[in-house]
Structure 1
Amino acid sequence: MSGMVSTKTRYDAVAIALHWLTVLAILSLLAMGWIMTSVPPGSATQFMLFQLHKSVGITVLALTVLRLGWRLAHKAPALPDTMPPLEKLAAHLGHVGLYFLLFAMPLTGWALVSTSPFNIPTVLYGLVPFPHLVFPAALGSKAALNADFVNAHFIGVWLIVGLVAVHAAAALRHHFVLRDTVLTRMLPRFGPSRPGVAEPRFRHGESR
């Protein structure tokens, strides 16, 4: 998300940690989603993967709430002045789309589990019982609602895969082609940093 910007060159440690925890969680969810639909239906392995998938999905929802709250309270580093206005707009819209999907995917997953005819309880990480959503009868039958939520979740998977791929490709382009700080400002910094020393900017043809 953009909107609040500043002259600082990096995201703070909390924003970086929340970002990379979310990345790891999303990648694990995609891997689990592919595996759990490939193993024998009704098997113990599939049940375990479904429970873990639900647990990590709710974790993503919690991380996204934290990320958005932190983002609204802390200014983001400004995009490079060399970026054209349309590219800045595209970056902003891409972030908005990612935030939307980071909310929508866990919520549609929670909804499809809540309307499933199997009515299997959710226990987060095998420790914490998690309630199902309650839908008023006026919305229709659970079977019809479940089919809608399954379709929405499936579409969301491909949307988030596409947006994540574009997001990653854009970050790599900035790092290796444009050689600016768009990627490095979100990378963890290892080792002591020297106060007052700004991150170097690179021109085409210079080595690091």
Structure 2
Amino acid sequence: MTATVDQVRETLIAVHRPLGIAILILALLRIAVRLVQGAPELPAGMPEPMKLAAKLSHLAFYGLMIAMPIIGWAMMSAADYPIVLFGAVHLPPIVSPSRELHAALWTAHAGLALCFFALILLHLAAALFHALVRRDGVFQQMAGGRAPAE
């Protein structure tokens, strides 16, 4: 997105900001639901290291979906750039303007985006592993089907 120099870049950025805030809100709502309802049970036959990896990957997803929008918001605030959600609705700045802070937050935001992409690929690989190799019902549960049989 940042390598684009024509009008497409402005459109991408205009979509990117409100999408980030929407993801932040939805992630916080999802965490609230998960705290109330709990997480689905993993199959009893799943090895403990796989169960731990599943739990840690979900924690990483939630952490990234909260951290990245907040860092992006702070990054734009540090650049003294208004964050327009839509029309006249702007987010207030959350940090004081600072070139150095902006640069550090930009690096963090970009680095976390790469981590998020890698985590998505890893999650996809794990889903395919459960669907094609283990055939333990985890993929069906992830896809919105019924819970795996014990």
Question: Contact 1:105–1:156 (CA<8 Å) still a contact in 2?
Answer: yes
1:47 and 2:7 correspond? no
Cα distance, 1:199 vs structure 2: 6.0
Trace 1:96-135 onto structure 2 (pairs within 5 A).
96-116=59-79, 119-126=80-87, 128-135=89-96
Gap runs ≥5 in structure 2? none
Q: Greater relative contact order (Cα 8 A, min sep 6): structure 1 or 2?
A: 1
C-alpha separation between the residues in 1 aligned to 2:49 and 2:12? 42
Q: What TM-score does the superposition give when structure 1 sets the normalisation length?
A: 0.66
One-letter code of the match for 1:122? Answer: I
Cα distance, 1:126 vs structure 2: 3.6
Trace 1:17-166 onto structure 2 (pairs within 5 A).
36-40=1-5, 43-116=6-79, 119-126=80-87, 128-135=89-96, 142-166=98-122
Cα distance, 1:69 vs structure 2: 0.4
Tell me which protein shows more helix as a share of its residues: 2
The alignment's C-alpha RMSD in Å is 1.9
Q: What TM-score does the superposition give when structure 2 sets the normalisation length?
A: 0.89
Cα distance, 1:63 vs structure 2: 0.6
After superposition, the Cα gap between the structure-2 partners of 1:180 and 1:125, relative to the gap in structure 1 and judged at 3 Å, is farther
Q: Percent identity?
A: 38
Partner deviation per Cα, 1:101-127 (whole Å, 9 max, x = no partner): 1111111111111111xx332221445
One-letter code of the match for 2:90? Answer: P
Cα distance, 1:144 vs structure 2: 1.0
Residue 90 of structure 2 aligns to a residue whose secondary structure is strand
Where does structure 1 differ by over 3 angstroms across 4 or more consecutive aligned residues?
198-201
Residue 166 of structure 1 aligns to a residue whose secondary structure is helix
C-alpha separation between the residues in 2 aligned to 1:72 and 1:145? 34
C-alpha separation between the residues in 2 aligned to 1:92 and 1:82? 16
After superposition, the Cα gap between the structure-2 partners of 1:199 and 1:133, relative to the gap in structure 1 and judged at 3 Å, is closer
Residue 129 of structure 1 aligns to a residue whose secondary structure is strand
Residue 138 of structure 2 aligns to a residue whose secondary structure is coil
